[in-house]
Amino acid sequence: MRIISGKLRGKSISFLKNKITRPLKDSVKESVFNILAHSNILNLNIKNSNVLDLYSGIGSFGLECVSRGANKVTFVEKDKNATEILQKNIFSLAIQDKATIIKDHIENFLSNDSNQIFDIIFFDPPFLDKDYIENLKILKKTKLYKKKHLIIIHREKNSSENLNGVLEILILKQYGRSKIIFGRLR
């Protein structure tokens, strides 16, 4: 895996080789960032934004955001092996000042009082996990996002969760097995 664009372009990042962690493929990641950069519908710039990378795994989405000029990325991941690799990636890319790792369950992080608010929030739960919708509801309740924010969700293309009442879907794209949802909390 590698960083696709920005100041860290071409740098390799380590990843886990197991059945639990499913890193975002480079081709899907590149498409997501092309949409972010060129969509008039989204109208949000990564540069100088604060990003929340939930279910971050080895952090490929958030690391790409840092490379493209994000102010700060907060990674939330409960898996010890994934956070160890993420920590190595952050150190090998020398971006410690731009990254914070929270080793905890998503709902714990979202429920705690935080003075942080985010521009972009990326959800990449395991494909079988449906609890992420409850976490979207917690996020909505705690308002850890700016008025002009963007939620990006990575799901399996055949998933059919009901996001009505929680998320206003702006763009929906499919890439192989993946479905990417761009939206805003209602």
**Residues contacting 186, CB < 8 A, separation 6+:** 140, 165, 166, 167, 168
Q: How many Å apart are CA 179 and CA 171, to the nearest integer?
A: 11
**Furthest CA-CA distance within the chain:** 41
Q: At what angle do helices 26-38 and 60-67 cross, to 10 degrees?
A: 40
Looking at residue 21, its pLDDT comes to: 56
Looking at residue 101, its pLDDT comes to: 97
Q: Give the single-character DSSP code of 86.
A: H
Alpha-helix residue ranges (DSSP H) falling in 10-105:
26-38, 60-67, 80-92
Looking at residue 44, its pLDDT comes to: 86
C-alpha distance from residue 111 to each of 40, 108, 127, 158 (Å): 33, 5, 23, 30
**Residues contacting 97, CB < 8 A, separation 6+:** none
- How confident is the chain (186 residues) per 10-residue block, as mean pLDDT? 94 77 77 91 90 94 97 96 95 97 94 87 88 92 93 91 91 92 94
Query: 28-185: CATH homologous superfamily?
Result: Vaccinia Virus protein VP39 (3.40.50.150)
Among 106, 101, 174, 111, CA closest to 143: 111
pTM for the model? 0.94
Q: Structural domain boundaries of the chain?
A: 28-185
Looking at residue 11, its pLDDT comes to: 95
